[in-house]
Amino acid sequence: MNETSTETRTVVVEREFAAPPEKLWRALTQPHLIQEWLMKNDFKPVTGHRFNLRGDWGGVLDCEVLAIEPNKALTYTWDFAHDDAAFSLKSVVTFTLTPTSTGTHLRMEQSGFRPDQKQAFGGARHGWQQFFANLEQVLARTD
Amino acid sequence: MADAHDMLFRTLADPTRRAIFERLCRDGEQTVGALTARAGVSQPAVSKHLGLLKQAGLVRDRHEGRQTHYSAQLGALAPLIDWTGQMSSFWQSRFDDLEDLLKRMDQ
């Protein structure tokens, strides 16, 4: 536990899509298509371009394109700034596309905060009620 | 991992102990005396609860003169908050929408 608590956390989600990399790439890089599956945005496929992702909940993510390799890989920052550090988040999202015999394997890796930092608790207040709800469920089961 | 969860759940299962911990989260560092005034139980009982919270890593104590100040250690809750789990669910559901979109898109 102590070992991992000082490291950057990483989330990896992978899936194979029945579409060629070129088509998937369009869905990842064209604003009107990004909006359809992720969030409203002003993305441009240009390294150094700063853009926002706007969630339906009203939250705005600050992003910057860090690396782009057409049809293969895309990396951008995924930051949520908030006056209260407890709500903010700094992370980097990387999409990697690999062609397969039937389509494209998409790998999404998001590396974020270290849990020992205050911003680690971006989800903590939000999750507070959930936490106690979970706690009650667990307790109900353990009797 | 499971042991860490068990310990946190067990420690926070007691309503009085949970109330003390919540108060430290909300109001910041407190002395045993200040906590006792609000806890509705005796000072030895509060001290015992604080000892268990400390064992679980949920509070830290700081001695200053004859007073001991306690503060909440939110870091101890990290295993329960499971940010990675939340983000995985988020991306899985985004990928579902991406899959739908790809079906609708022209080649």
pLDDT tens digits for A63-83? 999 999 999 999 999 988 766
Q: Does B9 touch chain A (CB under 8 A)?
A: yes
Under the banding of pLDDT at 50, 70 and 90, the label for residue A131 is very low
Question: In this complex, is the C-beta atom of B94 within 8 Å of any C-beta atom belonging to chain A?
Answer: yes
Decide which of A7 and B51 is more confident: B51
Look up residue A140 and give its two tokens.
């109900």
Q: Say how many residues make up chain A.
A: 143
- The answer to whether B61 touches B50, Cβ cutoff 8 Å, is yes
* Contact criterion met (CB < 8 Å) for B81 and A121: yes
> Residues A114-139: what's their mean pLDDT?
43
CB-CB neighbors (< 8 A) of B80 in chain A: 131, 134
Residue A113: predicted pLDDT? 61
Q: What is the ipTM of this complex?
A: 0.72
Dihedral sign for Cα A125, A129, A133, A135, please: positive
Query: What are the residue ranges of helices labelled H in chain A?
Result: 2-5, 21-29, 31-37, 124-142
For residue A24, the model assigns a pLDDT of: 93
In the predicted structure, residue B1 carries a pLDDT above the cut 60: no
Residue indicated by tokens 């102990």: B17
Mutate to test the interface with B, among A4, A6, A11, A136 (most CBs of B within 10 A): A11
CA A118 to chain centre: 19
Q: Which residues does chain B have within 8 Å of residue A10's beta carbon, measured at their own beta carbons?
A: 84
Per-residue confidence (pLDDT) for residue B107, from 0 to 100: 60
pLDDT band at B25 (very low <50, low <70, confident <90, very high): confident
Residues 6+ apart with CB under 8 A from A100: A16
Burial of A95 (0-12, 13-18, 19+ CB in 10 A): middle
Alpha carbons A45 and A40: distance in angstroms, whole number: 15
Residue of B nearest to A129 (CA): B81
Q: Looking at residue A122, what is its pLDDT?
A: 42
| pLDDT per position as a tens digit, B26-79 | 788 999 999 998 888 899 999 999 999 999 889 999 998 888 999 988 777 766
Pairing state between β A50-54 and B59-64: unpaired
CB contact under 8 A, B101 and A36: yes
